[in-house]
Amino acid sequence: MRRVRYESTGGPLFLEETPVPAPGPGELLVRTEAIGVTLPVVRKVTEAAEPIPLGGEIAGEVTAVGQGVTRFRAGERVTGLCFGHGYADFAVLHEAMASAVPDTASAVDAVALVRSGLVALGSLDAARPEPGEAALITAAASGVGHLAVQLAKARGAGRVVGAVSDPAKADFVRALGADEVITYDRLDRPDWGEPVDYVLDAVGGELLTPAVAALVPGGRLVAYSSGGGTIQAYDLLVGAKSVIGFQMARIARGRPELYERWRQELWRRFAEGELKPVVHGEFGLAEAAKAHEVIESRSNLGKVVLRP
């Protein structure tokens, strides 16, 4: 089978031929039909000290199952997060991370919806929103952000503000249901607009300070970015504001019942037309480097997907 990998930090991605892996206990072997490209994986290629397997969201058909697997069998379609080599014709997926793909959805729908949607929905739940509250969502045109905008509205937000890096993304974000769209440089101004009750932040770094400043007294910022950054404790103290860290892996491992409930809500909202994942572009495995360039340049509107 074909697999994408690289040999040194920041090094070029290339295709190699390698044997099809065998599923271990509790694992599924999946013939991949779609693979989601994420910013954390792109960052690891350029920043990690050692080369890592290119993992992430996958969707496709189960071709074999390992010992102890009870929920799935060969021939069924699944999606989930692969921690090993996911940029490949075949990938190994742990049963606990797998979700069935409905007959009404394609593999591309699945990778655009489930993992990004779980992060969007999980970070929204972490904010503990009340009906009618105002939300600010950074990276609002991204694979996660464009779903977070839709979910915040569907969950009863009274006002949703989308923050983006480029004003050219404004029409796209408004079409998702955002009431307002601002660029990051405008958010950095004291008069950017009316404060919000909570922020879902996927950017981090220097954007954290203006994001905290955008909160009403007692407001909450949910940080789920891999971009790092620092927040001054005084900025939280004077406004009685709070910052909540959100990591999906902790939920998947520690609270599987909540993880499953979120998955069911995503598929329900998708089936009812309330949640519409958008795909920016589809690339072949040999074009993985081009897909990474789209993510690195922050030019994507929605999800970037590889199609083996």
Q: Which residues contact 176 (CB under 8 A, 6 or more apart)?
A: 140, 146, 149, 150, 162
Strand-pairing partners, residue 16, are 3
Alpha-carbon Rg for the chain in angstroms: 19
Angle (CA) 60 61 64, round 5°: 130
Query: Which residue's structure tokens are 């090993």?
Result: 84
Query: CA torsion, points 116, 118, 119, 124, in degrees to nearest 10?
Result: 130
Residue 97: how many other CB atoms lie within 10 Å: 22
Please state, in angstroms and as integers, the Cα–Cα distance from residue 58 to each residue in 17, 88, 93, 200, 207, following that order.
Answer: 19, 10, 9, 25, 30
CB 268 within 8 A of CB 116: no
**What pLDDT is stored for residue 256 in this prediction?**
83
**What pLDDT is stored for residue 207 in this prediction?**
92
**What pLDDT is stored for residue 192 in this prediction?**
86
Which overall architecture, per CATH, does domain 117-248 show?
Answer: Alpha-Beta Complex (3.90)
Percent of the chain with pLDDT over 70: 100
Average pLDDT by stretches of 10, the chain with 308 residues: 94 95 97 94 88 93 97 96 95 92 93 92 96 97 96 97 96 97 91 94 93 96 87 91 90 83 93 94 96 92 95
**What pLDDT is stored for residue 36 in this prediction?**
95
Q: Which residues contact 267 (CB under 8 A, 6 or more apart)?
A: 102, 105, 113
DSSP 197-235: EEEEES--GGGHHHHHHTEEEEEEEEE--SS-----HHH
**How buried is 272 (Cβ within 10 angstroms: 0-12 exposed, 13-18 middle, 19+ buried)?**
exposed
**What pLDDT is stored for residue 76 in this prediction?**
97
**What pLDDT is stored for residue 226 in this prediction?**
74
For residues 135 and 178, give the distance between their C-alpha atoms in angstroms, rounded to a whole number: 10
For residue 94, give the nearest of 288, 256, 262, 282 by alpha carbon.
256
Which overall architecture, per CATH, does domain 2-101+278-306 show?
Answer: Alpha-Beta Complex (3.90)
Please state, in angstroms and as integers, the Cα–Cα distance from residue 152 to each residue in 148, 161, 177, 199, 261, following that order.
Answer: 6, 10, 9, 11, 17
What are the start and end residues of each CATH 3.90.180.10 domain in the chain? 2-101+278-306, 117-248
Strand-pairing partners, residue 32, are 60
**What pLDDT is stored for residue 48 in this prediction?**
86
Pull the structure tokens for residue 282. 């589809």
DSSP 20: P
